[in-house]
Structure 1
Amino acid sequence: MRLLKFLSWTCVALLSAVLLGFSGTYLYLSPSLPSVETLRNVRMQVPLRVYSADGKLIAEFGEMRRSPIHFADIPQDFVDALLAAEDDNFAHHYGVDVKSLMRAAAQLLKSGQIQTGGSTITMQVAKNFFLSNERSFSRKINEILLALQIERTLDKNAILELYVNKIYLGNRAYGIEAAAQIYYGKSIGELSLAQLAMIAGLPKAPSRYNPVVNPERAKIRRDWILARMYELGKIDQQRYQSALAEAVEVRQQAASPPELEAPYVAEMARAEIVGRFGSDAYTEGYRVHTSVRSDLQTAANRALREGLLAYDQRHGYRGPEQRLAGLDLAGWQAKLAEQRTLGGLEPAVVTRIDGDGIQVLTRAGSEERVDWQSMKWARPHLNTNSLGRLPGKPADVVRTGDLIRVQRQDDGSLRFVQLPQAQGALVSLDPADGAIRALIGGFSFEQSNYNRATQAKRQPGSSFKPFVYSAALDKGFTAASLINDAPIEFVDPYTGEIWRPKNDNNTFLGPIRMREALFKSRNLVSIRLLQEIGIGYALDYSKRFSLPPEELPRNFSLALGTANLTPLEVTTGYAVFANGGYRVQPYLITRIDNRDGEPLFLANPPRVPDRQMPPSTPQATAAALPDTSSDANASAAEPVAEAPIPAERVLDPRTAYIMTNMLQDVIARGTGRRAMSLGRSDLAGKTGTTNEQKDSWFAGYNGDFVTTAWSGFDQPQSLGRHEYGGTVALPIWIEYMGVALKDRPMHLPPEPDGLLRLRIDPATGRAATAGASGAFFELFNKDAPPQPAQEVSSSFQDNFGSEPAPVPIDLF
């Protein structure tokens, strides 16, 4: 009896010591433990996502790939698989599984090393949200105490939801939805039982059981989980066997694969959001909706790339990117793995040559055929203006081991191409409010992320002339005014240097009407107009088109387009003509939502009156965007709806209409005639080519879209002796506008009041006399009608609608 009493009291003492130890530990550690109440409103890091106007995902930015999911959306099969793998007693314990802890302690005593932590899912939530990965007894005790608190605060479903959204599952995937997208390209709800079991096996060791890196080890882990599910009665024999038989087929991909290729647009949106929200932009789950339409962006991508490829092929083949003749198949594959697909052009190595084409090895490891027909263009490039002889057979173009580029066609076949050296850009706006509908800033963002649409300051050449002509119309000139297309000479009073501008073909037409001078793009007429209206007036007038004054030269070369403007700035200027005289500002972001889909910002750009906002473009005030500089939790702010802002009229609608009418003649009768292939009568625009053909432009519009295409080399050099705005940029514009305007009715701003159509004498530009030969109708502002008919002397005098002021011009 004494022995029994001793043992009983000893047990009581030991139990009391343990309880006192736990109590003391709790009292000591609990004040420093974080509050688990924060888990009720936890904000996990969610990446920034950018979307098109029609809801297509363009890009995702952020260190962590995460797409939080609600418990109700988690498949039951995944819950069963996860619990079978991690914590099959989850439903019955209170945060701590004593048996698991005892098992872990026994392993520690036996081996002297920590084998397993004995952690429940609740303990892992405590560690993931509040603690580090340090392996120590103090951290484990904190983990246990926090787990007990979590179980008292949250229900089991909420704990599981926190866990599956927080855990790291390899390849930058955080949470099960991101993992499903990365490994299978599907949502978690679309996965099979075997695939769900595969993801459930990742939390234990994401790198070891990664199905991309270690498919065999991942399969072993998957099959073990399936067996555990079968043992626990979660699946029947048939489902178990079917899942075991399923092959491991995964391929790493982006967490949310882009549905629309628009990397330049994505970067513009990212930069703007970072400017507004700072580093929170990458973690707060902002959803940015842009004004870009997916169909138009796809058309812009194709138009620019095909236009640059066409130009490139006109100037011959420069040879392979590398010669790999000394390598074997493994060496070729290794070299191909180092290359990237750029602008849709895939790297390939020539493996065999015959009379009808070549065989190439692709990055995917397959050998495919390239037909000789797609190689016939490849005359040797000698220089910008010279080519070698036409090739007669494939062996004249390539050799075995050449690293080349191929382009996959719609039918799956490969076309022989090379990476263009010339670059380009295309911008398309809605002239009603400045919404950017499509934008591409180069052949390939992967090749160069320099956005030429918004950053490249280039000379617009003759595409600048409509701004000068518009100023002249408002200064009293008319479309029928006669201007002398004759040599002109300027002497610098300080240096004595002489400037003798000339027309591109070095010819002179003498007296010519303004309309004809514009569609024939006569340089000397533009200079005379600028000289007559005055440089100061022209510079001040250019502000109406939002042209940056610091980029406009204060000399007569301004008339020839020697300003430094981006394609976006030129497009913005042309929008004033396209909408009937209103100034609009280009914008990209239409809406910013927080992670819960609540709007933080709704765009409300100035808009042309009587033009309705499209359904995809919400209205609210830009000022509603919260100031995040002092408030880190900006997502709680609400936008304030406001009435639409009317755009400012900056141009007489009659002037805008006459300019559009004159620019229609550029397409119908002038340097833009190729655009007639679209079969539309509502197109207006102007080509532009700079000295030595360093820049090629076409800016044009109808009432729905105003679009500018530019092409040139990043380091300015000649595009070639016979390359102009009408040969390089215009085909790009035509290809894009053909898609943009397909099935759309004709549309231009309506004719305003105050215009006259009068018959004029083509020889004098004055009102025609009765029975005058060749007379035709011209469009006039009723406040500036043509001069009355009169006899014209044999010696020409410039007709500006009034007596011209003396100007220092030497005619010869």
Structure 2
Amino acid sequence: MKFIKPLLLFVFLSGLLGCAALVGIYFYIKPDLPSVTVLKDVRLQTPMQIYTNDGKLISQYGVKRRIPVKLDEVPEQLIHAILATEDSRFYEHHGIDPIGIARAAVSLLLTGEKKQGASTLTMQLARGFFLTREKTYIRKVKEIFIAWHMEQVLTKEEILELYLNKVELGHRSFGFGAAAQVYYGKPLTELTLAQIATIAGLPKAPSVLNPISGPERSVERRRVVLLRMLDENYITQQEFEEAASMPVTAKKHGAEIEVDAPYLADIIYNEMVEIYGKEEAETGGYQVYATATSDMQLAAQKAVVRNLHDYDERHGYKGPLGYLFNAPEVNEGDDPLPTLNLSFDISDKQTPSDWTEDGFLRVLREVPYIKPLVPAVVTGMSEQSITVFDVNGNTRTIEWAGLDWARRYITDFRQSNEPEVAADITQPGAVIYIREQEGQWRISQLPEVSGAFIALNPKNGAVEAVVGGYSFYQSQFNRATQAKRQVGSNIKPFVYSAAIDSGYTLASIINDAPINQWNAATGVAWRPQNSPAEYDGPIRMRKALGKSKNVVSVRLLRGVGLRNTVDYLTRFGFDADDIPLDETVSLGSSSHTPLEVVRGMAVIANGGYLVNPHFISKVLDENGTELWKANPVWACEACTKGVAPDNTLDENEEADIEALLEAQLNQDVTLAEGPQEDKPIAPQVITPQNAFLVAEMMRTAVRANGNWNKKTYWLGTGWRARNILQRTDIAGKTGTTNDSRDTWFSGFHKDIVATAWVGFDNMGRQLGRATRNQNLVNRNPEKFNWIGNALIGTEDGAKAAGPAWIRFMQYALADKPHSPMPVPEKIVRIRIDRTSGKLTRRTDHTTLFEYFLQGTEPKSYVRDDEVIDPAEKNTVTRPEPEEIF
């Protein structure tokens, strides 16, 4: 008893002093302790994800990879693995584990080293949110107090869920949802026990224990986790042995990109940064949905890439990227051979026997891999085929059908003769690009020409697809939204709209004759010319737009007035600062982006309303709650009540037009429902009647017109569109600038409007000319590919840009029923004389039906002596294939 009392007193006083010390320490560090109440409303730094309108991931932005998961979404085995390894008494303590602290203290006394941290899951979470990883006593004390506070504020389940989503797990992954994606490319629910044990062991040292950076240490750590699970009776002995013996299957995975659409993603990312700022946009966990669907976006991308390759291939093959052996000799005055920019020396490998497949792969992996181009080396050849070994380790044979296009490029205007054998094109040892097209591999090259494409819903401006160039990974400059290029004849529909607004009609006769105007100020005569330089004399306005007559456009501008025309163009959304105040504007000298052009075309397609192009449909937060939804202005279809035209009334049909017209006028057609009250109406910038009449002229531009046998036959500049699509409910306009530096094709169906552009980034470079490649004709002599490599002659909007528009529309309209634009009220259709545009009592091929705004129809009849019978003039000649293609 003599010793017990002092001992008890000592223990009591020590405990009292200890408590006093803890209280003192608490008040000493209290000013530095954060408020843990913020964890009740914690917001994890989650990357922004961008999806197509149909929910397919196209991009992810943010430094930290995080995929938040709810506790009930986490496999039970993963929870068991974490608790067994990190904190087996998690549900028993209050944030601080006395047993763990005692064990760490004993270890420190025995070894003098801080080997064990005694941190519970709550303490680790406290450190992750509020502290650093430095091993100091004061940090440990702060960690203890914060953990204790956290246990007062949060439930065990809330703490565990935060831990699962917060903890760092290597390779920029934060949280176990992200780790499963980064290391295994799949969600948590699909992981095996071995994979679960691997990621459960990462919190201790994620940089060195992860299975990518340290696979051997990862296997050792996995075994420790499995042993702890076995000790805690979470798994059986058999499960332990099977999981412990599994090989390492981890490899680094990117985000689960389902649709590669980088130009679209970049536009949306920049809009989000502009709204929220870079840091918030990249860490706020926003889920952003585009207006474009995955199928339409991919269709546009394929159309652009194929079209640029078609242009590039008809202008010739520029040769291999370099040679590994068998490099040809260079004569004096010849261009030097291309060389590969490699990080290692290959000068000691001059013969085929010096090379192995591993050697080829080492070289090919340093060649830029720009999809759909695949780097390859030619390893063998026969008379009309070659064998290649590609960067993916595949050996392929490219047959003559994949080689015969590759005549030698000389200039943008000249190509050599067609190759006859494979040796005319390449040889073994050459490093080349190949690509797959329609199931067939072919020799290829990176196109130097650029292109852009954009499609809108004309009713509300929602962007259906956007392509800013051949490859975002080659050039991030978005030509669809950023490149202001001269629009050429794409401006004419808007000039013609101004003319209709000023009293002209589709039957107005304009003189298609050369203009020669002297400018006293410059001492130079302005002589605008048609392209080609052919003149038809007096011509109806419909036909003039269909044939894209330049001098007629100038004369219409003069009739309307220069200032009036420029002011009128701004109705379509064009910036007045981009429009020159001179007569060249009628020929398309102003420069606009494809986005601006397609917005203007949408006015014609939707009945006269100016909609606002937009790329984002909605924005959700990290929990899937809708934060914002697009509320665009809508074209008011209900304001354009009318009837749908019967397209059997085309002027080249031989049916009884009068009977069909009577049937059409007796139809009762119900239009689609217009915008609801909660949909704001777009401003109406031109009348529905004006829009309809311009669209009618543009329909003429994309078809063959008249009757061949009656000599009234003529082709619109974009005639291939209707010929290939086999639809009468489309309209369009080609555009070509001086010297073919910019080429355009814009057009629409009433449900979709699109613009395609092709040109060089170097604005001074012309698109040139392609000569006939007889190899392509020989391959299919009965039928040329009207939108493929068989196109020859000087490049223009129909040849260079038109095929991209056509290919996209082939997909976009494939399932759409025939649905022509409705005829607005106050539009009448009257028979007129084909040549003079006057009323006529005749019903033969010298006449046709034309649309007029009520009150503007002709008042006088053509006299018999004024009638011109085209069949008697015999002036129409059918184009030969060389002229067509």
TM-score by length of 1: 0.89
Q: Structure 1 116/376 Cα, relative in aligned 2: closer, same or farther at 3 Å?
A: farther
Q: Distance in 2 between matches of 1:406 and 1:346?
A: 5
Q: Given the alignment of the two structures, is residue 514 of structure 1 paired with residue 544 of structure 2, yes or no?
A: no
**Does the 8 A contact of 2:385 with 2:399 survive in 1?**
yes
Q: Which amino acid aligns with 1:432?
A: K
**Superposed, which structure 2 residues align to 1:372-383 within 5 Å?**
372-383=400-411
1:374 shift after superposition: 1.4
1:300 deviates by 0.4
Superposition pairs for residues 118-133 of structure 1, below 5 Å? 118-133=118-133
Change (3 A) 1:396 1:772: closer
Shift in alpha-carbon separation, 1:217–1:336, aligned structure 2, 3 A = farther
SS at match of 1:710: strand
Contact 1:699 1:708 in 2 (8 A): yes
Contact 1:168 1:175 in 2 (8 A): yes
Correspondent of 1:529 among 556, 570, 583: 556
Corresponding position: 1:765 with 2:793: no
- Counterpart amino acid of residue 788 in structure 1: S
Q: 1:200 to 1:549 in 2, by over 3 A?
A: same
Deviation at 1:332, TM superposition (A): 4.1
Looking at structure 2, the residues matched to 164 and 96 of structure 1 have their Cα atoms a distance apart, in angstroms, of 19
Q: Is the 8 A contact 1:553 1:562 kept in 2?
A: yes
Name the CA shift for 1:414/1:196 in 2 (closer, same or farther; >3 Å): farther
SS of 1:126 mapped into structure 2? helix
2:7 and 2:399 mapped to 1: Cα distance? 94
Q: Distance in 1 between matches of 2:510 and 2:171?
A: 68
Tell which deviates more after alignment, 733-742 or 757-766: 757-766
Aligned residue type for 1:581: G
Q: Given that residues 50 and 266 in structure 1 are in contact (C-alpha distance below 8 angstroms), is that contact kept between their aligned partners in structure 2?
A: yes
Assess if the C-alpha contact under 8 Å between 2:607 and 2:637 holds in 1: no
Matched, 1:671 2:717: yes
Q: Which residue of 2 aligns with 1:718?
A: 766
Q: Write the deviation string for residues 665-724 of structure 1: whole angstroms up to 9, x where unpaired.
A: 111121111112111110100111111111111101011101111111111211122211
Q: Which of 662, 679, 687 is the matching residue for 1:644?
A: 679
Matched, 1:705 2:752: yes
Alignment of 1:263-282 (within 5 A): 263-279=262-278, 280-282=280-282
Matches of 1:179 and 1:266 in 2, distance apart? 24
Give the Å deviation of 1:469: 1.0
Q: Give the drift of 1:503.
A: 1.1
> In structure 2, do the counterparts of structure 1 residues 340 and 112 end up closer, same or farther at CA, with 3 Å as the change threshold?
farther
Query: Post-superposition shift, 1:51?
Result: 1.7
Q: Per-residue deviation at 1:247?
A: 3.1
Alpha-carbon distance change, 583 to 135 in structure 1, aligned in 2, over 3 angstroms: same
How many angstroms apart in 1 are the aligned matches of 2:744 and 2:611? 22
Q: CA, structure 1 residues 95+104, in 2 after alignment: closer, same or farther (shift >3 Å)?
A: same
- 1:655 — aligned with what? 690
Please say if residues 689 and 825 of structure 2, whose CA atoms lie closer than 8 Å, have aligned partners that are also in contact.
yes
Q: Secondary structure at the match of 1:404?
A: strand
Structure 2 partner of 1:550:
577
Q: Quick check: 1:654–1:754 contact (8 Å CA) kept in 2?
A: yes
> Which amino acid in the other structure matches residue 267 of structure 1?
D
Where does residue 67 of structure 1 map in the other structure?
Answer: 67
Q: 1:105 to 1:350 in 2, by over 3 A?
A: farther
Paired AA for residue 599 in structure 1:
E
Shift of 1:92: 2.5
Q: Return the alpha-carbon distance in structure 2 between the equivalents of residues 242 and 130 of structure 1.
A: 39
Task: Say whether residues 1:81 and 2:81 are aligned partners.
Answer: yes
> Is residue 785 of structure 1 aligned with residue 857 of structure 2?
yes
- Please tell me whether the aligned partners of residues 51 and 59 of structure 1 are also in contact (alpha carbons under 8 angstroms): yes
Match of residue 525, structure 2, among 498, 510, 516 = 498
Show CA shifts across 1:170-224 (max 9, x none): 2211111111122222211222222211211221222212223333332232233
* Residue in 2 that maps onto 1:562: 589
| CA distance in structure 2 between the aligned counterparts of 1:603 and 1:2, rounded to whole angstroms | 85
How far apart are 1:99 and its partner, in Å?
A: 3.6
**C-alpha deviation, 1:394, in angstroms:** 3.5
Give how far 1:792 is off: 10
Classify 1:395/1:210 alpha carbon distance in 2 versus 1 (closer, same or farther; 3 Å). farther
Contact kept, 8 Å, 1:764 with 1:792, in 2: the verdict is no
Structure 2 distance, partners of 1:200, 1:110, is 29
**Do the aligned partners of residues 751 and 182 (structure 1) sit closer, same or farther apart at CA in structure 2, a change above 3 Å counting?**
same
User: Measured at CA, do residues 673 and 410 of structure 1 come closer, stay the same or move farther in structure 2, by a change above 3 Å?
Assistant: closer
Sort the Cα spacing of 1:643 and 1:400 in 2 relative to 1 into closer, same or farther, 3 A. same
Q: Percent identity?
A: 42
Bigger drift between 557-566 and 390-399 goes to 390-399
Which of 366, 370, 376 is the equivalent residue of 1:348?
Answer: 376
Q: Is the 8 A contact 2:729 2:821 kept in 1?
A: no
Equivalent residue number for residue 115 of structure 1: 115
In the TM superposition, what whole-angstrom CA distance separates every residue of 1:69-108 from its partner, at most 9, and x where no partner exists?
1111111100111122222232323322334334434444
Deviation at 1:336, TM superposition (A): 3.3
Question: Which deviates further from its counterpart, 214-223 or 51-60?
Answer: 214-223
Contact 1:459-1:565 at 8 Å conserved across structures: yes
**Partner residue in 1 for 2:94:** 94
The CA RMSD measured in Å over matched residues stands at 2.4
* Matching residue of 1:47: 47
Aligned partner of 1:447: which letter?
A: Q
Gapped regions of structure 2 (runs ≥ 5): 326-345, 350-354, 640-675, 705-715, 770-793, 869-885
Distance 2:150 2:727 in 1: 69
In the alignment, structure 1 segments of 5+ residues that lack a partner are 613-640, 797-812
Report the equivalent of 1:734.
806
Structure 1 residues 154 and 776: CA distance shift in structure 2, 3 A: closer
- Residue 595 (structure 1) aligned with residue 622 (structure 2): yes
Q: Secondary structure at the match of 1:776?
A: strand
Mapped to 2, the partners of 1:792 and 1:770 lie a distance apart of: 9
Contact 2:508/2:540 (CA < 8 Å) preserved in 1?
yes
Q: Aligned partners of 1:102 and 1:398: how far apart in 2?
A: 76
Written as runs of structure 1 = structure 2, the 5 A alignment for 1:49-448 is 49-255=49-255, 257-279=256-278, 280-325=280-325, 326=346, 328-329=355-356, 332-355=360-383, 357-408=385-436, 414-448=441-475
Contact 1:478 1:786 in 2 (8 A): no
SS at match of 1:259: coil
